[in-house]
Structure 1
Amino acid sequence: MEKLYIPQIARAVDATETFDFKEFIEGLETLTPVQGVISVRHVGSFLEVSSKASTIMTLTCDRTLVQFNYRLAINNSERICLAEPLPESEYPREREIEADDLVESISPSGYFDPKAWLYEQLILAIPYPKIAPDAPALEITDANSFDGSTATIDKRWEILNSLKLPE
Protein backbone atom coordinates (compact mmCIF):
# COMPACT_ATOMS: atom_id res chain seq x y z
CA MET A 1 0.00 0.00 0.00
CA GLU A 2 1.37 3.34 -0.98
CA LYS A 3 0.73 6.67 0.70
CA LEU A 4 -2.04 8.68 -0.95
CA TYR A 5 -1.51 12.31 -1.90
CA ILE A 6 -4.53 14.13 -0.46
CA PRO A 7 -5.08 16.65 -3.32
CA GLN A 8 -5.06 13.69 -5.73
CA ILE A 9 -7.88 12.03 -3.75
CA ALA A 10 -9.94 15.21 -4.17
CA ARG A 11 -9.49 14.99 -7.99
CA ALA A 12 -10.45 11.29 -8.19
CA VAL A 13 -13.84 10.09 -9.42
CA ASP A 14 -16.39 10.85 -6.67
CA ALA A 15 -13.38 12.18 -4.68
CA THR A 16 -12.83 8.58 -3.54
CA GLU A 17 -9.90 6.17 -3.74
CA THR A 18 -10.84 2.52 -3.12
CA PHE A 19 -8.48 -0.40 -3.36
CA ASP A 20 -8.21 -4.05 -2.39
CA PHE A 21 -5.12 -5.32 -0.62
CA LYS A 22 -3.57 -8.58 0.52
CA GLU A 23 -0.23 -8.13 2.27
CA PHE A 24 1.65 -8.53 5.51
CA ILE A 25 1.88 -5.37 7.63
CA GLU A 26 5.21 -4.60 9.25
CA GLY A 27 5.05 -4.77 13.05
CA LEU A 28 1.94 -6.98 13.10
CA GLU A 29 2.77 -10.66 13.49
CA THR A 30 0.13 -12.58 11.56
CA LEU A 31 -0.10 -16.07 10.11
CA THR A 32 -1.85 -14.91 6.95
CA PRO A 33 -1.60 -11.66 5.01
CA VAL A 34 -4.05 -8.95 5.98
CA GLN A 35 -6.65 -8.79 3.24
CA GLY A 36 -9.57 -6.52 2.61
CA VAL A 37 -10.58 -3.20 1.12
CA ILE A 38 -9.94 0.44 2.07
CA SER A 39 -11.92 3.42 0.87
CA VAL A 40 -10.67 7.00 1.34
CA ARG A 41 -13.13 9.78 0.47
CA HIS A 42 -12.22 13.48 0.38
CA VAL A 43 -15.10 15.52 1.82
CA GLY A 44 -13.68 19.04 1.76
CA SER A 45 -12.44 19.64 5.29
CA PHE A 46 -11.94 15.99 6.25
CA LEU A 47 -11.18 12.51 4.93
CA GLU A 48 -13.66 9.72 5.49
CA VAL A 49 -11.69 6.47 5.75
CA SER A 50 -13.35 3.08 5.98
CA SER A 51 -12.03 -0.44 5.81
CA LYS A 52 -13.01 -4.08 6.04
CA ALA A 53 -10.05 -6.35 6.69
CA SER A 54 -9.18 -9.67 8.28
CA THR A 55 -6.23 -11.87 9.13
CA ILE A 56 -5.32 -14.72 11.46
CA MET A 57 -2.83 -14.26 14.27
CA THR A 58 -1.48 -16.37 17.13
CA LEU A 59 -2.34 -15.09 20.60
CA THR A 60 -1.36 -16.37 24.04
CA CYS A 61 -4.25 -16.99 26.41
CA ASP A 62 -4.00 -14.79 29.50
CA ARG A 63 -5.67 -17.49 31.60
CA THR A 64 -3.87 -20.69 30.50
CA LEU A 65 -0.77 -19.35 28.69
CA VAL A 66 -1.61 -21.65 25.77
CA GLN A 67 -1.25 -20.27 22.25
CA PHE A 68 -4.30 -20.22 19.98
CA ASN A 69 -5.17 -18.89 16.55
CA TYR A 70 -7.53 -15.93 16.44
CA ARG A 71 -9.32 -14.45 13.44
CA LEU A 72 -8.84 -10.70 13.69
CA ALA A 73 -11.42 -8.80 11.64
CA ILE A 74 -12.32 -5.12 11.47
CA ASN A 75 -15.08 -3.12 9.83
CA ASN A 76 -14.12 0.43 10.83
CA SER A 77 -14.55 3.97 9.62
CA GLU A 78 -13.05 7.24 10.81
CA ARG A 79 -13.10 10.90 9.91
CA ILE A 80 -9.73 12.59 9.81
CA CYS A 81 -9.62 16.39 9.87
CA LEU A 82 -7.67 18.22 7.19
CA ALA A 83 -5.92 21.14 8.87
CA GLU A 84 -2.48 22.67 8.76
CA PRO A 85 -0.65 21.95 12.02
CA LEU A 86 0.50 24.90 14.11
CA PRO A 87 4.24 25.50 14.20
CA GLU A 88 5.65 24.42 17.55
CA SER A 89 6.72 27.97 18.32
CA GLU A 90 3.07 29.11 18.21
CA TYR A 91 1.82 26.63 20.81
CA PRO A 92 0.62 28.43 23.93
CA ARG A 93 2.27 27.43 27.21
CA GLU A 94 -1.11 26.51 28.63
CA ARG A 95 -4.51 26.20 27.08
CA GLU A 96 -7.80 24.53 27.78
CA ILE A 97 -8.55 21.58 25.53
CA GLU A 98 -12.05 21.18 24.13
CA ALA A 99 -13.41 17.77 23.18
CA ASP A 100 -13.43 18.89 19.52
CA ASP A 101 -9.67 19.45 19.73
CA LEU A 102 -9.08 15.76 20.38
CA VAL A 103 -9.33 14.61 16.79
CA GLU A 104 -6.68 13.40 14.42
CA SER A 105 -5.72 15.86 11.73
CA ILE A 106 -3.32 15.88 8.80
CA SER A 107 -2.23 18.53 6.35
CA PRO A 108 -4.60 19.01 3.37
CA SER A 109 -1.57 19.13 1.07
CA GLY A 110 0.13 16.11 2.64
CA TYR A 111 -0.14 12.35 2.39
CA PHE A 112 -2.43 9.80 4.00
CA ASP A 113 -0.77 6.48 4.90
CA PRO A 114 -3.40 3.73 4.65
CA LYS A 115 -0.97 1.06 5.89
CA ALA A 116 -0.27 2.97 9.13
CA TRP A 117 -4.00 3.66 9.61
CA LEU A 118 -4.83 -0.02 9.05
CA TYR A 119 -2.09 -1.11 11.48
CA GLU A 120 -3.56 1.14 14.19
CA GLN A 121 -7.09 -0.19 13.62
CA LEU A 122 -5.94 -3.83 13.77
CA ILE A 123 -3.89 -3.30 16.94
CA LEU A 124 -6.92 -1.73 18.63
CA ALA A 125 -9.07 -4.73 17.60
CA ILE A 126 -6.89 -7.32 19.40
CA PRO A 127 -9.02 -8.55 22.30
CA TYR A 128 -8.17 -7.80 25.90
CA PRO A 129 -7.99 -10.00 27.83
CA LYS A 130 -6.95 -12.70 25.39
CA ILE A 131 -8.94 -15.78 26.42
CA ALA A 132 -8.73 -18.99 24.37
CA PRO A 133 -12.09 -20.41 23.32
CA ASP A 134 -11.34 -23.70 25.14
CA ALA A 135 -9.99 -22.06 28.33
CA PRO A 136 -11.73 -23.30 31.48
CA ALA A 137 -13.96 -20.87 33.30
CA LEU A 138 -12.64 -19.53 36.59
CA GLU A 139 -14.33 -20.92 39.68
CA ILE A 140 -14.50 -18.24 42.30
CA THR A 141 -15.55 -18.95 45.89
CA ASP A 142 -15.66 -16.62 48.82
CA ALA A 143 -15.75 -18.19 52.27
CA ASN A 144 -16.20 -14.79 53.85
CA SER A 145 -19.41 -13.83 52.08
CA PHE A 146 -21.80 -11.56 53.93
CA ASP A 147 -24.71 -14.00 54.08
CA GLY A 148 -22.61 -16.77 55.69
CA SER A 149 -22.77 -19.07 52.67
CA THR A 150 -19.67 -20.46 51.03
CA ALA A 151 -19.26 -19.23 47.49
CA THR A 152 -16.68 -20.59 45.06
CA ILE A 153 -13.32 -18.80 44.87
CA ASP A 154 -10.43 -19.24 42.50
CA LYS A 155 -8.21 -22.00 43.95
CA ARG A 156 -5.12 -19.90 43.30
CA TRP A 157 -6.25 -17.48 46.03
CA GLU A 158 -6.56 -20.16 48.74
CA ILE A 159 -2.84 -20.01 49.52
CA LEU A 160 -3.19 -16.29 50.21
CA ASN A 161 -6.01 -16.97 52.69
CA SER A 162 -3.62 -19.18 54.68
CA LEU A 163 -1.26 -16.21 55.05
CA LYS A 164 -3.86 -14.04 56.81
CA LEU A 165 -2.91 -12.94 60.30
CA PRO A 166 -5.29 -14.00 63.10
CA GLU A 167 -7.36 -11.14 64.43
Structure 2
Amino acid sequence: MEKLYIPQIARAVDATESFEFKEFIEGLETLTPVQGFVSVCHLGAFLEVSAKASTIMTLTCDRTLVQFNYRLAIDTSEKIWLAEPLPESEYPKEREVESGDLVESLSPNGYFDAAAWLYEQLTLAIPYPKIAPDAPALELRDTSANLETSVDKRWAALSSLQLSE
Protein backbone atom coordinates (compact mmCIF):
# COMPACT_ATOMS: atom_id res chain seq x y z
CA MET A 1 0.00 0.00 0.00
CA GLU A 2 1.54 3.28 -1.08
CA LYS A 3 1.66 6.42 1.00
CA LEU A 4 -0.66 9.17 -0.26
CA TYR A 5 0.78 12.64 -0.90
CA ILE A 6 -1.59 15.01 0.93
CA PRO A 7 -1.55 17.92 -1.62
CA GLN A 8 -2.40 15.39 -4.34
CA ILE A 9 -5.45 14.24 -2.36
CA ALA A 10 -6.66 17.86 -2.34
CA ARG A 11 -6.36 17.99 -6.16
CA ALA A 12 -8.22 14.68 -6.71
CA VAL A 13 -11.84 14.50 -7.87
CA ASP A 14 -14.04 15.56 -4.92
CA ALA A 15 -10.74 15.92 -2.98
CA THR A 16 -11.04 12.19 -2.20
CA GLU A 17 -8.78 9.20 -2.78
CA SER A 18 -10.49 5.83 -2.41
CA PHE A 19 -9.09 2.37 -3.01
CA GLU A 20 -9.72 -1.29 -2.33
CA PHE A 21 -6.93 -3.52 -1.07
CA LYS A 22 -6.16 -7.12 -0.27
CA GLU A 23 -2.74 -7.57 1.29
CA PHE A 24 -0.86 -8.56 4.41
CA ILE A 25 0.01 -5.62 6.67
CA GLU A 26 3.53 -5.58 8.10
CA GLY A 27 3.61 -6.24 11.84
CA LEU A 28 0.11 -7.73 11.99
CA GLU A 29 0.16 -11.53 12.11
CA THR A 30 -2.92 -12.71 10.24
CA LEU A 31 -3.94 -15.96 8.56
CA THR A 32 -5.52 -14.22 5.58
CA PRO A 33 -4.66 -10.95 3.85
CA VAL A 34 -6.43 -7.88 5.18
CA GLN A 35 -9.02 -6.88 2.63
CA GLY A 36 -11.28 -3.89 2.48
CA PHE A 37 -11.80 -0.32 1.38
CA VAL A 38 -10.17 2.99 2.44
CA SER A 39 -11.35 6.51 1.65
CA VAL A 40 -9.28 9.63 2.39
CA CYS A 41 -11.09 12.95 1.95
CA HIS A 42 -9.19 16.28 2.12
CA LEU A 43 -11.42 18.86 3.85
CA GLY A 44 -9.04 21.82 3.99
CA ALA A 45 -7.77 21.85 7.56
CA PHE A 46 -8.09 18.11 8.11
CA LEU A 47 -8.34 14.70 6.47
CA GLU A 48 -11.34 12.48 7.05
CA VAL A 49 -10.21 8.88 6.76
CA SER A 50 -12.66 5.99 6.79
CA ALA A 51 -12.16 2.27 6.30
CA LYS A 52 -13.92 -1.06 6.27
CA ALA A 53 -11.58 -4.02 6.51
CA SER A 54 -11.48 -7.59 7.76
CA THR A 55 -9.08 -10.48 8.23
CA ILE A 56 -8.70 -13.66 10.28
CA MET A 57 -6.07 -14.00 12.97
CA THR A 58 -5.10 -16.59 15.56
CA LEU A 59 -5.51 -15.48 19.17
CA THR A 60 -4.68 -17.23 22.43
CA CYS A 61 -7.52 -17.39 24.94
CA ASP A 62 -6.63 -15.57 28.17
CA ARG A 63 -8.76 -18.00 30.19
CA THR A 64 -7.78 -21.41 28.75
CA LEU A 65 -4.54 -20.64 26.81
CA VAL A 66 -6.04 -22.44 23.80
CA GLN A 67 -5.52 -20.90 20.38
CA PHE A 68 -8.58 -20.00 18.29
CA ASN A 69 -9.27 -18.21 15.02
CA TYR A 70 -10.92 -14.80 15.26
CA ARG A 71 -12.49 -12.71 12.52
CA LEU A 72 -11.16 -9.19 13.03
CA ALA A 73 -13.27 -6.53 11.32
CA ILE A 74 -13.32 -2.73 11.46
CA ASP A 75 -15.72 -0.09 10.19
CA THR A 76 -14.19 3.14 11.42
CA SER A 77 -13.39 6.74 10.59
CA GLU A 78 -11.08 9.39 11.99
CA LYS A 79 -10.33 13.06 11.43
CA ILE A 80 -6.65 13.91 11.19
CA TRP A 81 -5.65 17.54 11.65
CA LEU A 82 -3.33 19.07 9.05
CA ALA A 83 -0.80 21.34 10.75
CA GLU A 84 2.92 21.95 10.49
CA PRO A 85 4.70 20.54 13.53
CA LEU A 86 6.63 22.99 15.72
CA PRO A 87 10.40 22.77 15.48
CA GLU A 88 11.80 21.19 18.63
CA SER A 89 13.64 24.42 19.51
CA GLU A 90 10.28 26.24 19.77
CA TYR A 91 8.70 23.81 22.25
CA PRO A 92 7.89 25.56 25.52
CA LYS A 93 9.60 24.13 28.59
CA GLU A 94 6.20 23.78 30.28
CA ARG A 95 2.83 23.79 28.62
CA GLU A 96 -0.73 23.20 29.73
CA VAL A 97 -2.37 20.70 27.40
CA GLU A 98 -6.08 20.91 26.64
CA SER A 99 -7.97 17.74 25.72
CA GLY A 100 -8.67 19.30 22.30
CA ASP A 101 -4.90 19.43 21.69
CA LEU A 102 -4.68 15.65 21.90
CA VAL A 103 -5.42 14.90 18.27
CA GLU A 104 -3.34 13.28 15.60
CA SER A 105 -1.88 15.69 13.08
CA LEU A 106 0.08 15.50 9.85
CA SER A 107 1.97 18.06 7.82
CA PRO A 108 -0.23 19.51 5.04
CA ASN A 109 2.67 18.90 2.63
CA GLY A 110 3.48 15.41 3.88
CA TYR A 111 2.23 11.90 3.29
CA PHE A 112 -0.59 9.83 4.75
CA ASP A 113 0.53 6.25 5.41
CA ALA A 114 -2.65 4.19 4.92
CA ALA A 115 -0.94 0.91 5.87
CA ALA A 116 0.27 2.30 9.21
CA TRP A 117 -3.16 3.82 9.91
CA LEU A 118 -4.87 0.50 9.13
CA TYR A 119 -2.39 -1.34 11.35
CA GLU A 120 -3.27 0.98 14.25
CA GLN A 121 -7.03 0.62 13.71
CA LEU A 122 -6.88 -3.18 13.46
CA THR A 123 -4.64 -3.47 16.50
CA LEU A 124 -7.10 -1.38 18.52
CA ALA A 125 -9.93 -3.70 17.40
CA ILE A 126 -8.29 -6.85 18.82
CA PRO A 127 -10.49 -7.85 21.77
CA TYR A 128 -9.27 -7.58 25.32
CA PRO A 129 -9.49 -9.90 27.09
CA LYS A 130 -9.22 -12.54 24.40
CA ILE A 131 -11.82 -15.18 25.31
CA ALA A 132 -12.39 -18.19 23.07
CA PRO A 133 -16.03 -18.81 22.12
CA ASP A 134 -15.94 -22.26 23.74
CA ALA A 135 -14.18 -21.13 26.95
CA PRO A 136 -16.04 -22.07 30.15
CA ALA A 137 -17.83 -19.27 31.96
CA LEU A 138 -16.31 -17.88 35.14
CA GLU A 139 -17.87 -18.96 38.41
CA LEU A 140 -18.69 -15.97 40.59
CA ARG A 141 -18.71 -16.71 44.29
CA ASP A 142 -20.32 -14.57 46.96
CA THR A 143 -17.31 -13.39 48.96
CA SER A 144 -19.33 -11.39 51.50
CA ALA A 145 -20.65 -14.60 53.13
CA ASN A 146 -17.14 -15.93 53.60
CA LEU A 147 -15.69 -12.62 54.82
CA GLU A 148 -16.10 -13.37 58.53
CA THR A 149 -14.59 -16.85 58.25
CA SER A 150 -11.68 -15.63 56.17
CA VAL A 151 -10.56 -12.91 58.61
CA ASP A 152 -7.15 -13.58 60.07
CA LYS A 153 -7.51 -14.81 63.69
CA ARG A 154 -4.83 -12.40 64.83
CA TRP A 155 -7.26 -9.54 64.14
CA ALA A 156 -10.06 -11.12 66.23
CA ALA A 157 -8.90 -9.26 69.35
CA LEU A 158 -9.52 -5.95 67.59
CA SER A 159 -13.15 -6.84 66.92
CA SER A 160 -13.82 -6.76 70.69
CA LEU A 161 -12.59 -3.16 70.73
CA GLN A 162 -15.29 -1.89 68.38
CA LEU A 163 -16.97 1.27 69.62
CA SER A 164 -20.71 1.17 70.14
CA GLU A 165 -22.73 3.72 68.21
Using structure 2 for the length normalisation, give the TM-score.
0.88
The answer to whether the aligner puts 1:34 opposite 2:34 as a matched pair is yes
The residue type equivalent to 2:71 in the other structure is: R
Shift >6 Å, 4+ stretches: none
The residue type equivalent to 2:28 in the other structure is: L
The answer to whether the aligner puts 1:124 opposite 2:124 as a matched pair is yes
1:62 is matched with which residue?
62
The structure that has the greater radius of gyration is 2
Give the superposition deviation at 1:35: 0.2
Return the match for 1:166 from 148, 153, 161. 153
Structure 2's unaligned 5+ residue stretches are: 155-165
2:2 is matched with which residue?
2
Q: How many residue pairs were aligned?
A: 153
Matches of 1:166 and 1:146, distance apart in 2: 14
Aligned residues: percent identity?
78
The residue type equivalent to 1:145 in the other structure is: A
The answer to whether the aligner puts 1:83 opposite 2:83 as a matched pair is yes
Give the superposition deviation at 1:5: 0.2
The residue type equivalent to 2:69 in the other structure is: N
1:81-111 CA-to-partner distances (Å, cap 9, x unmatched) read 0000000000000010011110000000000
1:139 is matched with which residue?
139
1:19-58 CA-to-partner distances (Å, cap 9, x unmatched) read 0000000100000000000000000000000000000000
Give the superposition deviation at 1:77: 0.1
The residue type equivalent to 2:34 in the other structure is: V
1:110-152 CA-to-partner distances (Å, cap 9, x unmatched) read 000000000000000000000000000011223542899xxxx
Matches of 1:93 and 1:6, distance apart in 2: 31
Residue aligned with 2:94, SS: coil
1:107 is matched with which residue?
107
2:15 is matched with which residue?
15
Matches of 2:64 and 2:147, distance apart in 1: 32
The residue type equivalent to 1:2 in the other structure is: E
Q: Specify whether residues 65 and 16 from structure 1 end up closer, same or farther in structure 2 by C-alpha distance, changes over 3 A only.
A: same
